[in-house]
């Protein structure tokens, strides 16, 4: 019975702390920014991913501020970002 309990506890520990889901993320993650292409951890100030060179931020055509390429409008000058 004790051996069975130890096996159950070992499986629970493995499941909670070591098992990774389909996307390769651990269940307990902190709020790290990741590249949308390769899932590498990147810093907030990076403009491109240092691993795959995915564009993380682009320059607004109107005001020059760095914004996410997924944003339709610049939050600083309200310019429509077409590209």
CA 59 to centroid of chain Cα atoms: 21
Q: Model confidence at 22, in pLDDT bands (50, 70, 90)?
A: very low
pLDDT digits (tens, 9 = 90+) for 37-80: 998 889 988 999 999 999 999 888 889 899 988 888 999 998 88
Tell me the torsion sign for CA atoms 28, 54, 37, 74. Answer: positive
- pTM for this prediction: 0.52
Per residue in 39-71, is it b (16+ CB within 10 Å) or e — as a string?
Answer: eeebeeeeeebeeeebebbbebeeeeeebeeee
43-53 per-position pLDDT tens digit = 988 999 999 99
pLDDT at 80 (0 to 100): 83
Higher-pLDDT residue of 51 and 23 is: 51
């Amino acid at each position: 019975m004790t051996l069975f309990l130890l096996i159950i506890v070992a499986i629970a520990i493995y499941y909670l702390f070591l098992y990774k889901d389909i996307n390769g993320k651990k269940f307990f993650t902190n709020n790290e920014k990741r590249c949308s292409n390769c899932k590498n951890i990147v810093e907030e100030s990076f403009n491109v991913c240092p691993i795959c060179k995915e564009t993380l931020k682009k320059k607004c055509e109107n005001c020059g501020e760095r914004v996410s390429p997924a944003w339709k409008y610049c939050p600083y000058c309200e310019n429509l970002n077409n590209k």
